């Protein structure tokens, strides 16, 4: 039971923060739960596709193999299924009426996935892994979700560059996620030195995106 609590505690903290941050029109709890469980269920096809793609990694060596695993096997597969889950849950729903809503729902989808992934990791590798992931991987998934939701909100509710923003909602999280995994997978000392600055950048960029869409929502009232 302690293992499970360690795995889900950072998820709960992030979800509560995002819910509170949505100050002007709270999303229906039924839709938030639907987004969360859609992200959790996305683990099933993700594992299936990742196993297929992983078999092809033997064709590569060195940093090319690491990049393939980071950007294709992990980042592309996980983000594209989270994107599909987000689209299916909310794109045509009337509750999606503010740009900030894109961030809210994308983070809930991401945290659904992160919950299952984190339980698997913590169950397999123990509490130390749980504490490490609480500060890195789980917030990382949330911040990839912020990036996805930011552009998803623009694609749905901004009159300009709808197609480009729709594409950005997928490609930018893939790029950020892939770079995150690549740095860690290489275990190269110089790249690892860049990991903390990269995390700081993710946090700063994420808060900036949330503030921008939150401020836009404020002016509607």
Contact 124, 7 (CB under 8 A): no
Helical H segments across the chain, by residue range: 2-21, 29-41, 43-55, 62-67, 77-90, 99-125, 127-135, 137-157, 162-186, 189-193, 195-218
pLDDT in tens, 130-171: 889 998 999 999 999 999 999 999 999 988 899 999 999 999
Rounded Cα distance, 117 and 109, in Å: 13
pLDDT band at 220 (very low <50, low <70, confident <90, very high): low
Q: Is the predicted pLDDT of residue 221 greater than 70, yes or no?
A: no
Q: What are the Cα distances from residue 155, in Å, to 91, 151, 211?
A: 10, 6, 18
> How much of the chain exceeds pLDDT 90, in percent?
80
Rounded Cα distance, 40 and 49, in Å: 15
Rounded Cα distance, 215 and 210, in Å: 8
pLDDT in tens, 98-111: 999 999 999 999 99
Rounded Cα distance, 115 and 180, in Å: 19
At 122 the three-state DSSP class reads helix
Average model confidence (pLDDT) across the chain: 93
pLDDT in tens, 69-107: 999 999 999 999 999 999 999 999 999 999 999 999 999
Return the domain boundaries, the chain: 2-218
Q: Is the predicted pLDDT of residue 219 greater than 60, yes or no?
A: no
């Amino acid at each position: 039971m302690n293992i499970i609590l360690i795995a889900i505690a950072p998820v709960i903290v992030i979800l509560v923060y995002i819910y509170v941050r949505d100050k002007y029109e709270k999303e229906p709890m039924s839709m938030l739960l639907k987004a969360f469980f859609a992200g959790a269920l996305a683990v099933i096809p993700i594992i299936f596709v990742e196993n297929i793609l992983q078999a092809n990694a033997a064709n590569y060596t060195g940093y090319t193999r690491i990049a393939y695993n980071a950007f294709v096997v992990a980042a592309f597969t996980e983000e594209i299924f989270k994107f599909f889950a987000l689209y299916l849950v909310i794109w045509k729903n009337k509750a999606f009426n503010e740009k900030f809503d894109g961030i809210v729902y994308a983070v809930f989808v991401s945290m659904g996935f992160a919950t299952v992934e984190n339980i698997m990791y913590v169950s397999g590798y123990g509490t130390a892994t749980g504490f490490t992931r609480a500060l890195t991987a789980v917030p990382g998934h949330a911040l990839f979700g912020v990036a996805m939701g930011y552009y998803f909100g623009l694609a749905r509710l901004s009159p300009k560059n709808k197609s480009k923003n729709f594409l950005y909602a997928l490609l930018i999280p893939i790029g950020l996620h892939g770079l995150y995994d690549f740095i860690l997978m290489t275990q190269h000392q110089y790249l690892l030195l860049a990991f903390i600055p990269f995390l700081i950048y993710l946090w700063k960029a994420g808060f900036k995106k949330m503030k921008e869409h939150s401020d836009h929502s404020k002016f509607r009232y």
